[in-house]
Structure 1
């Protein structure tokens, strides 16, 4: 996939029930392929349910709960989409604070599809160029972002994409940003 090496880097994947399965599994495979240590973090310790659009997908074992982690322990963050997943995350104070802390610490973050909903709640999209699933356009603009309809957008270490069709370029850019490390402009 890339010439990048993530050996020695820890990447957090934050998700809960209702995540779009392929938006977790493809980035997971891409980061694992280049040596990253990966942790699936959720709101609960139980397995979480993936979806394929509106149909149930597989269940996935959670490595750590949001109450047991801090952003300082990770080199990057991935926020998969799905409608229910980010909607639940954005109303959970611990999840929102975890996401915000990646920006405070200047660490790369990758969010796809509906994943940027959590970024809005964390108040980290103002003055950033982003993309997302089209229904989030107005929410992102109202939060101060410049929304564009592009396959993949990277703004100072924040990688965003629109949907599963964008996964190849999203995963490539995500790995590149994680390899380059800390450089996201602090926003809070």
Structure 2
């Protein structure tokens, strides 16, 4: 059973957090969320929904070597939340550790900026990515990142999955299911959700 770790911060985008958590759980993944820099015991999301993560901080995770235990790290967008990820050393190190371990890192919307910030600070390979249009310039100005406007971009060689925004969250989540659980898993989950052929 694949294991997924999803980060959440104040100002994270609800749809981009909840959709992967929901879809991956439906697919039989072991999914865990962890808060980053929360002011309360919940994340105050971008549209005023409050979400209580499974673990309040990275330090409270039962597996301190998260990159060795989990198969994928997921970073939702939402500009304030993404800024928190991008300026928190523990998150940048976590992204770097996952990538060095050869594990998947997935980011959606402004979450891609944390991937870029980690590479800028700690090194590692750049990848083919996408993001929300509002942060495209921020991604491209770092140079070396191959930018795409596809809804979901998978760089299999670099183990990076990125997506554009709230409207692409379902395709993003299903793409992760297919990568780690196979095409049959994606079809099974999609059928159970009465998924339309075109997202």
Q: TM-score, normalised by structure 2?
A: 0.78
Q: Give the direction of change, closer, same or farther, for the CA distance of 1:85–1:58 in structure 2 (3 Å limit).
A: same
Contact 1:50/1:60 (CA < 8 Å) preserved in 2? no
For structure 2, the residue ranges without an aligned partner over 5 or more in a row are 183-199
Name 2:196's counterpart in structure 1. none
Name 2:80's counterpart in structure 1. 84
Aligned length: 170
Name 1:168's counterpart in structure 2. 170
CA distance, structure 1, for counterparts of residue 177 and residue 124 of structure 2: 21
Contact 1:47/1:62 (CA < 8 Å) preserved in 2? no
The one of 33, 36, 49 equivalent to 1:40 is 33
- Name the SS of the counterpart of 1:122 in structure 2: helix
Q: TM-score, normalised by structure 1?
A: 0.83
Name 1:142's counterpart in structure 2. 141
The answer to which structure has the higher strand fraction is 1
- Name the SS of the counterpart of 2:161 in structure 1: strand
Question: RMSD across aligned C-alpha pairs, in angstroms?
Answer: 1.9
Between 1:146-155 and 1:116-125, the stretch displaced more is 116-125
Give, in angstroms, the shift of residue 21 of structure 1: 0.4
Give, in angstroms, the shift of residue 43 of structure 1: 2.4
**Larger Cα-atom Rg:** 2
For structure 1, the residue ranges without an aligned partner over 5 or more in a row are 1-7, 181-188
Name 1:51's counterpart in structure 2. 46
Whether 1:151 and 2:144 are equivalent positions in the alignment is no
The one of 8, 12, 23 equivalent to 2:5 is 12
1:106-158 C-alpha deviation (Å, 9 max, x unpaired): 11121110001110111078542111001221222223201111111100231
CA distance, structure 2, for counterparts of residue 126 and residue 145 of structure 1: 9
Whether 1:28 and 2:21 are equivalent positions in the alignment is yes
The answer to which structure has the higher helix fraction is 2
CA distance, structure 1, for counterparts of residue 124 and residue 147 of structure 2: 10
- Name the SS of the counterpart of 2:49 in structure 1: strand
